[in-house]
Amino acid sequence: MSKVIDIHTHPTFFETINSDPNTFEYRRQAMGLYKAVLTPLQHIFDQMDYAGIDKLALLPLDLTTVDGQIVVSNDEIAEIVRQTADRFIGFASVDPHRKDAIEALEYAFEELHLAGLKLHPSRQKFYPCESELFPLYECCIKHNKPVLFHAGISLEPDTNSKYARPIQFEEVAICYPKLRFCLAHFGWPWVTETAALLLKYPNVYADTGLLYFDNAREFYNHVFKTELGEHWVDRSLRHQVMFGSNNPRFEQIRMVEALRAIGWRGSTLDLVLGENALAFLG
Amino acid sequence: MFKLEKFIFFTKSYNQMILLTDQLRTVVAHSGIQNGLAAVITMHTTTGICVNENLDCLESDIDDALKRLVPEDIPYAHARILPDYGSTAGNPTGHIKSMLAGNSCIFPVMEGKLVMGNAQDVFLYEFDGPAQRTVTITVTGE
């Protein structure tokens, strides 16, 4: 069986980066995870082992021009990965409105060796097709790194979905066919828009980090068997959908179980649970 | 007199039993209390504290019985985003099993020793693991 990779997790409350109580509380408020607790790495590894997950992609968030703060920094991500490289894949985050955004991204790729770029249009207040973003996309292409965009509604505070409707990303897909990018959360609730983009643009991916109602099995059945045609992923989108949990907001363990129970072919499950992430990461 | 100790466990499975009898005996022995009561209490709402015989056949029977009583695949109301948390509630079976199991047990302490039946052991029951769990053991008396 292929390695299982969760392409969408937030290390925001890892004990190793939360020695300062004020930072910890800021992170709770910034993420809208108001009762989050400090998480020892041992617990993360126990969850991964129980769920059969080999690696987690860790996503930081740079809100320099929005909050005047960075929720989790690229340096913190790099340090976590350095200590436990066999379990984690580190992404970078850059606030696109920073004057030194491109330098920060170059540093993250060249010096910190991070694997891709996370951008959050709703929280960082930009439309993905704004020209201000183009140098960042070109930097990713130059370094053969992917972009993981937040897409769809966000439960974080101070977010507006208008920036992140899936259709807003079509211009990027058209202008940058060599840029691999992922629409996180399958762009929920606009999942048919996401499916349409995946169908047309092979460089566009989506992750499964969506659990906005019900339990994982119920919600995945609703989205992947009712909102989308029952066979759409298994027949047409199987090379572009990646397992992502959005942990700790959603429940990683039950989401893996629910994906395995959805009825896709075994080869599709291998793609979704890990092989597509490897292709996405390049 | 009053003595309280906390024990932290990293559980490894969704449902799991962890023997606590040795920890209980140790706290009582080191408490200096000769006559009183010892209590084992979990600090969580998806775990239980139970007294039973330490046999693997009973462990699987208890696990099976709880699964029959509280199946995973029925539509519970506790399956939604909780606004106060900002995250998903998806552990209704853990809460219900916790209620069935209870969150504590208590034993007499006499002449510095626990008064327990020969077949009795104390267990932490995990119903929503893997997780980090804290259990308190308290001894009160003179």
Cβ atoms of B14 and B66 within 8 Å: the answer is no
Q: Which residue of B has its CA nearest to A42?
A: B10
What local confidence, expressed as pLDDT, does residue A101 receive? Answer: 98
Contact B80 A50 (CB under 8 A): no
> What dihedral angle (degrees, nearest 10) is formed by the CA atoms of B6, B8, B13, B19?
-50
A15 touches chain B (CB under 8 A): no
Contact A32 B80 (CB under 8 A): no
User: Left if phi > 0, otherwise alpha if psi is -120 to 50, otherwise beta: which for A198?
Assistant: alpha
What local confidence, expressed as pLDDT, does residue B41 receive? Answer: 98
B46's tokens: 């998806």
Contact A34 B76 (CB under 8 A): no
Cβ-based interface (< 8 Å): residues of B facing A = 10-14, 73, 75-76, 79-81, 84-88, 90, 129-132
Domain B2-141: give its CATH code: 2.60.120.460
Contact B14 A214 (CB under 8 A): no
pTM: 0.95
Q: Rounded to an integer, what is the distance from CA B69 to the centroid of its chain?
A: 19
Q: Low-confidence residues of chain B, pLDDT below 50?
A: none
Please work out, in degrees rounded to the nearest 5, the angle formed at the alpha carbon of residue A40 by the alpha carbons of A82 and A72: 55
Contact A215 B14 (CB under 8 A): no
Cβ atoms of A128 and A121 within 8 Å: the answer is yes
Helix axes A134-142, A101-110, angle to 10 degrees: 20
What local confidence, expressed as pLDDT, does residue A1 receive? Answer: 65
Residues of B in contact with A215 (CB under 8 A): 76, 79, 90
Using only the alpha carbons of chain A, give its radius of gyration.
Answer: 17
Using only the alpha carbons of chain B, give its radius of gyration.
Answer: 17
ipTM of the complex: 0.91
Reported as a single tens digit per residue, the pLDDT across A176-225 is 999 999 999 999 999 999 999 999 999 999 999 999 999 999 999 999 99
Residues in chain B: 142
A43 touches chain B (CB under 8 A): yes
**What type of residue is A135?**
P
Parse chain B into domains and list their residue ranges.
2-141
CA distance B111 to chain A (A): 40
Q: How far apart are CA A96 and CA B117, in angstroms?
A: 67
Reported as a single tens digit per residue, the pLDDT across B23-61 is 999 999 999 999 999 999 999 999 999 999 999 999 999
Say which residues have a Cβ less than 8 Å from residue B29's Cβ, sequence separation at least 6.
B112, B113
CA distance B117 to chain A (A): 35
Q: Low-confidence residues of chain A, pLDDT below 50?
A: none
CA distances from A121 to A103, A118, A193 (A): 20, 10, 17
A10 touches chain B (CB under 8 A): no
